[in-house]
Amino acid sequence: MSEPACPQKKPYVIELEPGTYWWCACGQSKTQPFCDGSHKGSEFSPKEVKITEKKKYGLCGCKRSNNKPMCDGTHKSLG
């Protein structure tokens, strides 16, 4: 498995309304942190995020969290 791109080494903190979202796993989307279809032709596919509560979420921007799609602090150990 090749490494995803790293759009930023910190989370995207955004308020989300309840609904279904597609988190970009490949790191190539131009509409981070969500998928814009740029993964096509790669081995990556977006991860479905089901939000039931309206609040702020920290979505992983480094694409290396162990709790995708949420940031788990892994970005702090990136060089």
Question: Closest distance between ligand FES and the C-beta of residue 18, in Å?
Answer: 22
Chosen residue from 7, 33, 60, 69 binding ligand FES by CB under 6 A: 60
Q: Which of 22, 12, 14 is nearest to 49 (CA)?
A: 22
**Interface with ligand FES includes 69 (CB under 6 A)?**
no
Please, are residues 63 and 4 in contact by the beta-carbon 8 Å criterion?
yes
Q: Mark residues 16-55: x for contact with ligand FES by CB under 6 A, - for none.
A: --------xxx-xx-----xxxxx----x-x---------
